[in-house]
Amino acid sequence: MNDMEAVQIIQDYIRTHYKDDNFCIHDVCSKIGYSRRQVDRFFKRFLKKTLREYINAVCLTESANELLNTRKTILEVALNSHYETHEGFARSFYKRFHIMPSVYRDKKIAIPLFIQYPVSHYNALLKHKEELFMNNALNFCMITAKERNKRKLIYLPSKNAQDYFSYCEEVGCEWEGLLNSIPEKIEPAALIELPEKFVEKGFSRIAVGIEVPLEYDKELPESYKIVELPECIMLYFQGEPYENEEDFCKAIESTYTAIGKYNPTLYGYKFAYDIAPSFNFGADTSTGARLAVPALYNDYSE
């Protein structure tokens, strides 16, 4: 078993057992027969966190979900998150999310929830960056049109990113947890390509974002931007399910290829990349890749 396989086994164990009453960090290490020092070294190398930091992030994110979606007292939430006192839980919650649990429950503002990215996906991303070809076996694509009323776009721009890989290298990955913590979101957080009119000087067209209703006016972190979007059609392209988790990059590329081959005028539409962003929602083995691009009716007149 190599180091990355060990990290994946531990991630899977944590994902399955972190809610157990008797969950213990020492049991996590003994699961694979490595010392705490060895596991910390693996986690710092691949996930940029020690094992304890990783577990705390997982438990605190679950506690945030409980604060919003249950009527449990803050002490009950703290105990469920393996904290012995209200005070210790509150300190840790504030250190991670920069807001007290009681204030978060009251204001329901966006916070950077922790996403448990499997380390195997990290390996797949590295492999995909080195590949210059695509597996053309993933070809089938379903298309669904959804009408969008006027709404707002919340997004976090990048300065130099050209794709998902370079975006994460520049900005990091906390955006997904933060954007997905906004209950008013129309769709989950996605990598987006902005219309030229939204790109400020010194920034690239690659960002991440979500759409929210027009009336959304809650506080956002300083680096996030919000703009209004006009009504339009969003064309959703969904690829085939696939078996090997490491093929998610190829599934996305295959779906992009399908968009490039699609002729919207045959169905009464025209692409409208100048009025709204396109969205890359990623890929999953059970559902395939999912992308969305803006369009208008062909006879649309502004």
Whether residue 139 is found in the same domain as residue 262: yes
Is 97 within a domain?
Answer: yes
In a domain, 199, yes or no: yes
Cβ-contact 2, 42 below 8 angstroms = no
Question: Residue 41 sits in which domain range?
Answer: 3-107
Element (H, E) at 176: helix 174-180
Indicate which CATH number applies to the domain containing 46: 1.10.10.60
150 and 250 co-located in one domain: yes
254-281 confidence digits (pLDDT tens):
899 999 999 999 999 999 999 999 999 9
Last residue of a domain, one of 53, 76, 107: 107
Q: 184 with 272, same domain? A: yes
* Segment 100-155, tens digit of pLDDT: 999 999 998 899 999 888 887 666 655 555 453 444 444 578 999 999 999 999 99
Q: Does residue 143 sit in the same domain as residue 97?
A: no
Tell whether 254 is covered by a domain. Answer: yes
Contacts of 6 (CB under 8 A, 6+ apart): 32, 34, 39, 42
Q: What is the structure's pLDDT at 138?
A: 47
Its pTM stands at 0.74
Q: Look up residue 281 and give its amino acid.
A: F
For residue 57, give the H/E element and its range: helix 51-69
Q: What mean pLDDT, rounded, does the chain reach?
A: 89
Task: Give me the CATH number covering residue 248.
Answer: 3.20.80.10
pLDDT, tens digit, for every residue of 179-217? 999 999 999 999 999 999 999 999 999 999 999 999 999
Q: Is residue 302 part of a domain?
A: no
Q: Residue 240 domain-assigned?
A: yes
Q: Count the domains in the chain.
A: 2
What pairing do the DSSP bridges indicate for beta strands 269-271 and 288-297? Answer: antiparallel
Buried b (16+ CB within 10 A) or exposed e, 150-171: ebbbbbbbbeebeebeebbeeb
Q: Residue 73 contacts by C-beta under 8 Å, 6 or more apart in sequence? A: none
Q: Tokens 């399908």 sit at which residue?
A: 258
